[in-house]
Amino acid sequence: MIDINLLRENPDVFRASQRARGKDETHVDRILEADTARRALIGEYENLRAEQNAFGKKVAKAPKEEKPALVAQAKELAARVNEAKAASEAKTAEYEELISSIENLIIDGVPTGGEDDYVVVKKVGTPRDFTADGFEPRDHLEIGELVDGIDMARGAKVSGARFYFLKGQVARLEQALMWMALDLATEHGFTMMTTPTLVRPEIMNGTGFNVKHDDEIYRLERDDLYLVGTSEVALAGYHTDEILDFEKGAKKYLGWSSCYRREAGSAGKDTRGIIRVHQFNKAEMFVYCPVEQAEEMHDKLLSLEEEMLQRCGLAYRVIDTAAGDLGTSAARKFDCEAWVPTQGTYRELTSTSNCTTYQARRLNIRERTPDTVDEAGNVRKGRTRSVATLNGTLATTRWVVAILETHQQADGSVRIPEALRPYMGGAEVIPAIAE
């Protein structure tokens, strides 16, 4: 949710943000109109309530012979009070719907446009040249079958399309990625969290997902619970309705969970293998911090994602995502995309988003600023204000795709990146299974 005071003071900034996202900038004007009308109606209701209270005292003190007429007037006043209350509540509901549905204000410098309008920040590493190695690269599914590590057929038999089994050393490779992410995050002050994968609708909405209109979300209607597509949701809700203390620094968590997405709009896309699936595992960083630290923290999350990619020996690029592809909550998002040899392109493995105060406002998560002392020695108590939230992926099942393809050998085996070997029992290679 955006800051209404900021919007009142700078409506043109929000209109520009909406234009950059490719959204309806008149949404800003509808919010302002509803806000003005809401405040006027609330004032009218409060004035009538005050009049009603004063009139009630007058009725109580009136002579007996005057009371019938006064009681009739009191009933008429009560009806007006109820009408004013209903009008103010209806307008408030309209206002809350409008302000909760507008996207976050983008940060200066975010590229304008949609999915294809990103800006490449940098490229790191050189994609492997298989011509020099003397063989044609296989895709990750063929390799996974050669090493007996990916079974799509039985996944479909058990659960349907876009489900799978990981087996043996490939299953261990996925876990190795997660454990390396955990160790890296722990070194940098993150607390590991095993998070719920089912959340209440108010938590899903508070994080910025629209449960009424988001076709990507799985819903358990009988229980009115939702399966998360990222542990960001549970971690964002962890401190709902709390005032946080940052005396010892930002609160940093690493959520470890399975994640679920319906992939409703992806018919015909990435149907082969495990690139776009309904269930996957993920290690997700989540940070609460003061607003002033948010952009610096965003850079830190990105650097940790890059360190993971470098440890895995992957060529990758970092992109500054365009405004129209940010999602509702993000004010800025960087994606790290690894080179996938058989596709001849970079594919997203991680993203990190600065959500500024958008999620915290929706979930009522605040901090208390320090007390201040003026020149006369008077102490002014600190106030509460919304905190900033950030998230970033440190490892996920999709990484297996880039690792298998990048580090494959001519015989179908896969060299394990050196940094992952301690998590693989010291193994250097995932061998192909002899036919």
Segment 60-119, tens digit of pLDDT: 888 877 778 888 888 888 899 899 999 999 999 999 999 999 999 999 999 999 999 999
Whether residue 435 is predicted with pLDDT greater than 60 in this model: the reply is no
232 in a labelled binding site: yes
Distance (Å, rounded) from C-alpha 384 to C-alpha 368? 4
Q: Check residue 210 and give its pLDDT.
A: 83
In the annotation, is 276 catalytic? Answer: yes
242 in a labelled binding site: no
> Contact at 8 Å (CB) between 18 and 376?
no
Catalytic residue among 88, 257, 329, 351: 351
SS3 289: strand
Give the DSSP per-residue string, 293-320: GHHHHHHHHHHHHHHHHHHTT--EEEEE
386 in a labelled binding site: no
296 in a labelled binding site: no
Pick the CATH number of 119-430 from 1.20.1250.20, 3.40.50.620, 1.10.510.10, 3.30.930.10: 3.30.930.10
278 in a labelled binding site: yes
SS3 407: coil
262 in a labelled binding site: yes
SS3 124: strand
In the annotation, is 311 catalytic? Answer: no
Whether residue 136 is predicted with pLDDT greater than 80 in this model: the reply is yes
Query: Region 396-411: what's the mean pLDDT?
Result: 97
Segment 209-234, tens digit of pLDDT: 888 767 889 999 999 999 999 999 99
In the annotation, is 17 catalytic? Answer: no
277 in a labelled binding site: yes
Whether residue 248 is predicted with pLDDT greater than 60 in this model: the reply is yes
Give the pairing of strands 150-151 and 429-430: unpaired
Higher pLDDT, 124 or 75: 124
Q: Check residue 267 and give its pLDDT.
A: 65
Pinpoint the residues of the chain covered by CATH 1.10.287.40: 4-101
Catalytic residue among 21, 38, 261, 361: 261
Whether residue 373 is predicted with pLDDT greater than 80 in this model: the reply is no
Catalytic residue among 15, 242, 348, 385: 348
- Token output for 245: 């203390």
Q: Where is 218: in which H helix or E strand?
A: strand 218-220
Percent of the chain with pLDDT over 70: 98
| Half-sphere CA count of 201, side-chain side, radius 13 A | 11
* Amino acid letter for position 407: H
Catalytic residue among 39, 276, 347, 415: 276
284 in a labelled binding site: yes
Q: How high is the mean pLDDT of the chain?
A: 93
350 in a labelled binding site: yes
230 in a labelled binding site: yes
Region of poorest pLDDT, from 171-180, 209-218, 404-413: 209-218
- Nearest CA among 393, 360, 410 for reference residue 3: 360
Could you say which DSSP state residue 157 is in? H
Distant-in-sequence, close-in-space partners of 64: CB < 8 Å, separation ≥ 6: none
Catalytic residue among 386, 398, 405, 413: 398
Segment 276-317, tens digit of pLDDT: 999 999 999 999 999 999 999 999 999 999 999 999 999 999
Distance (Å, rounded) from C-alpha 429 to C-alpha 424? 10
Q: Check residue 72 and give its pLDDT.
A: 84
348 in a labelled binding site: yes
Distance (Å, rounded) from C-alpha 74 to C-alpha 360? 44
Query: Region 378-390: what's the mean pLDDT?
Result: 90
Pinpoint the residues of the chain covered by CATH 3.30.930.10: 119-430
135 in a labelled binding site: no
Pick the CATH number of 4-101 from 3.40.50.150, 1.10.10.10, 3.40.120.10, 1.10.287.40: 1.10.287.40
SS3 160: coil
Instruction: Please work out, in degrees rounded to the nearest 5, the angle formed at the alpha carbon of residue 208 by the alpha carbons of 269 and 17.
Output: 90
Look up the pTM and report it. 0.92
